[in-house]
């Protein structure tokens, strides 16, 4: 079997058929499987999955994971997969008709452990393009580490994933952060497809776009701790010091800062961010990637550090 596509499903009735239809179309003529893993949905998601299972019994498999969270679902899907490659696709997104064919062709041509893809990111009022890291550039590993990505942005060779015992961290919402930027440390077999093979919808009701406070916004801290630990494990924390430092700066003082300031309960996040930077990167102000950024962003970073 060429590919296993793993789709975590939790209350996705509004988008699920669109997602599954796009995958089925992309899989035409290709040996593969769709592992749709329900995570305790309370809407009509499960009945939709059962309908597709009946219609495509040799393609769609409905699994059940009782441990909450997308990480547990993806880990479970990998355990049940059979394909040479795995691809995680979110239930509220979709892929292009030629996505699977192009990714597999690239993976085979370059004997790649990972193939990174381009994506169209769709907002309520506009859209943009997320370009992949180009393996043609000599600094591609540096760029990969700094880029930051979701599990859906790479096709992965299953045996390579299993060989290194990779697992997404369960119980937190930034489960992908701890692992994804470290994957490149474990291979030189990397390729890419610079085309929008994936459509990433910015849904306001997703776990990362909640309008009410959740203590999970503080999951950024154990996720980054875990990421640093992976670099130490690979003895790469010194080689990629600047890249990792920039990743911490971006995620603590820019991205997560937006959540900390949004809710009164989130204010302790600023002091936690300062403590983490003092612990790992006390000279972060001199980061070479930060120096390249516009003055406005530099000011914003410093303001968020002292909040």
pLDDT tens per residue, the chain (307 residues)? Answer: 999 999 999 999 999 999 999 999 999 999 999 999 999 999 999 999 999 999 999 999 999 999 999 999 999 999 999 999 999 999 999 999 999 999 999 999 999 999 999 999 999 999 999 999 999 999 999 999 998 889 999 999 999 999 999 999 999 988 899 999 999 999 999 999 999 999 999 876 555 555 788 999 999 999 999 999 999 999 999 999 999 999 999 999 999 999 999 999 999 999 999 999 999 999 999 999 999 999 999 999 999 999 8
Which value, in Å, is the radius of gyration of the alpha carbons in the chain?
A: 19
- Indicate if 35 and 146 belong to the same structural domain: yes
* 8 within domain boundaries: yes
Residue 191: strand, helix, or coil: strand
Angstrom distance (rounded) from CA 261 to CA 55: 48
* 223 plus 197 within the same structural domain: no
**Contact yes or no for 96/196 (Cβ under 8 A):** yes
Range of the domain at 223: 215-306
Residues 30 and 68 in one domain: yes
How much is the pTM? 0.93
- Indicate whether 63 belongs to any domain: yes
Q: At which of 151, 167, 201 does a domain end?
A: 201
- Tell whether 178 and 268 lie within a shared domain: no
Burial 110-135 (b: 16+ CB within 10 A, else e): eebbbbbbbbbebeeeeeeebebbeb
Co-location of 43 and 128 in the same domain:
yes
Backbone angles phi, psi at 91, to 5 degrees: -70, -15
Asked if residue 293 belongs to a domain, the reply is yes
271 and 172 in one domain?
no
In a domain, 208, yes or no: no
How many residues are given for the chain?
A: 307
SS3 state at 29 = coil
């Amino acid at each position: 079997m060429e590919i296993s596509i793993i789709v975590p499903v939790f209350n996705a009735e509004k988008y699920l058929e669109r997602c599954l239809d796009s995958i089925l179309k992309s899989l035409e003529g290709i040996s593969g499987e769709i592992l749709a893993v329900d995570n305790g949905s309370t809407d009509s998601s499960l009945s939709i999955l059962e309908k597709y299972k009946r219609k495509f019994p040799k393609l769609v498999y409905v699994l059940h994971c009782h441990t909450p969270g997308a990480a547990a679902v993806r880990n479970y899907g990998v355990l049940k997969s059979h394909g040479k490659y795995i691809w995680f696709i979110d239930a509220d997104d979709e892929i292009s008709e030629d996505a699977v064919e192009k990714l597999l062709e690239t993976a085979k041509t370059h004997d790649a452990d990972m193939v990174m893809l381009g994506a169209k990111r769709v907002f309520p009022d506009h859209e943009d393009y997320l370009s992949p890291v180009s393996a043609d550039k000599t600094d591609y590993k540096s760029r990969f580490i700094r880029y930051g990505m979701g599990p859906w942005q790479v096709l992965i060779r299953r045996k390579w994933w299993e060989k290194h015992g990779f697992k997404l961290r369960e119980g937190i919402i930034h489960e992908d952060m701890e692992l994804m930027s470290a994957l490149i440390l474990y291979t030189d077999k990397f390729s890419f497809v610079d085309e929008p093979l994936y459509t990433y919808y910015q849904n306001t009701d997703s776990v990362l776009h909640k309008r009410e406070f959740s203590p999970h916004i503080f999951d950024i801290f154990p996720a980054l701790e875990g990421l640093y630990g992976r670099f130490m494990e690979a003895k790469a924390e010194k080689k990629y010091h600047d890249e990792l430092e920039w990743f911490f700066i971006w995620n603590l003082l820019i991205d997560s800062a937006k959540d900390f300031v949004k809710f009164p309960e989130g204010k302790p996040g600023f002091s936690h961010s300062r403590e983490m930077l003092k612990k790992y990167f006390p000279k972060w102000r001199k980061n070479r990637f930060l120096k390249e950024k516009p003055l406005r962003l530099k000011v914003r970073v410093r303001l968020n550090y002292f909040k």
